[in-house]
Amino acid sequence: MSTVKLLSPSCSTGIFRNVECRQSATSPSPAVENLGFSKLCGTNVGRSYRSPRSLVLCYDREKLNLRRPIKAKEYTGAFLIHGRKCSRKLLKPIKAKNDSEPSWTDNSAAISGKSFHKMSNIGNSTNILWHECPIQNRDRQQLLQQKGCVIWLTGLSGSGKSTLACALSQSLHSKGKLTYILDGDNIRHGLNRDLSFRAEDRSENIRRIGEVAKLFADAGVICITSLISPYQKDRDACRALLPEGSFIEVFIDVPLHVCEARDPKGLYKLARAGKIKGFTGIDDPYEPPCGCEIVLQQKGSDSKSPKDMAEIVISYLEKSGHLKA
C-alpha cells in the first residue's frame, strides 16, 4: 500500500503545490516518489485523510489498472473551503435589472475619471460609441515607412484591372511596401456572397468594399481595389470615406470592342446570348470617371504592359509622398 501526501499552499486558492508518494511501512521496498498533479488526477483513490494543512491519499498500486471511477457524492448545495463545509448562501447571485432601469448613470463617470461621450445611432445600429486607441494612423505609418491609401482601379470587364493590380502589388512588394488587393470576384466569394448583380446590390457591394479598403488604409496598408464599379456616385461615396489625397482613382480606359474581343471569362458571349442580364457595357451602363487621378489608355497598338502601367501608378505614389512615412 502507498500513500500520497498533498501539502496545501499558504495561499487560499486550495490548489496543492507539492504531491508526495511514499510506500507504507508494510511495503517491501520503501521509496519516495514525486507525482505531478495530472498523474494524481488519473489515480483511483481508495480512501483519504484530510487535515487543515494537508491531504493524504491512500491507494493500492496493484489495483491501479482497474481504473474504477470514484463515485460522485450527491450535490447538497454546499462546498468545501479549506476542509470546512460552507453554505452556498455565501455566494449571492447578481440580480438582473428590469428593462425599465437604466444601465448606467452619470455617477459612473467618476469611477473612470472621464466624462461620457454621446452615443451614436448610425443606420440600424443604435447606442454605439467609437472607441479610440492610443496607437493612431501616424504611428502605423511610421512603423511601415509608408502612408496608407486606396488605389481604386475601375474599368470595363476585361480591361485588365486584376492583372494590373497584381503587377502593381508585386512591384511595390519588391520595394518593401505592404499592399493588399481587394478583387471584386474574390470578395464575392466571401464577404459579399449574399449580393447579386442588380443595381442596388452592386451599390452595396461597392459600399462594403469601400469600408474595408478604408480600414486597410487606416492600418497603413496600400490597398488596391480591382472591380468594375460602374457608377460614379458609388465611387464618389468611397472617396468621401477617406482623407484628402488618400483615394487614388485609376481609370483603365479600354474600349468596349477591345474588352469584348479579349473576353477572358467568356462573359461577353453569354451576355450577348441573353444568358446574363445586367452586364456592364452590354445592357447596363458604365459611367467613366470624371476627375480621376490617373487615366491609363489602351487603344490599338498603343497598349502598355501591366508592368509599365504599374510604374506609372508607382511614380504617382512617389510624387504624392505615399511611399514614405
Q: Which residues are part of the catalytic machinery? A: 229
The Cα–Cα gap between 177 and 166 comes to: 14
Backbone angles phi, psi at 84, to 5 degrees: -110, 140
Which position has the grid cell 449571492?
Answer: 92
Q: Are 285 and 233 in contact (CB under 8 A)?
A: no
Residue ranges of E strands in the chain: 2-7, 18-23, 32-34, 47-50, 54-59, 78-81, 84-87, 120-122, 125-128, 149-154, 179-183, 222-226, 247-253, 294-297
Report the run of H or E that residue 173 belongs to, with start and end: helix 161-174
What's the CA gap between 144 and 126, in Å, rounded?
A: 35
C-alpha cell at 42: 488519473
Pairing of strands 179-183, 222-226: parallel
Residue 284's identity, in one-letter code, is D
Q: What is the DSSP letter of 82?
A: T
Residue at 56: amino acid letter: V
How many Cα atoms are found within 13 Å in the side-chain-facing hemisphere of 234?
Answer: 23
Tell me which residue of 256, 235, 264, 230 sits closest to 151, measured CA to CA.
235
Bridge pairing between strands 294-297 and 32-34 = unpaired
Contact 88, 79 (CB under 8 A): yes
Cell of 89: 448562501
Nearest by Cα to 287 from 162, 189, 154: 154
**Cell numbers representing residue 163 in the block:** 492583372
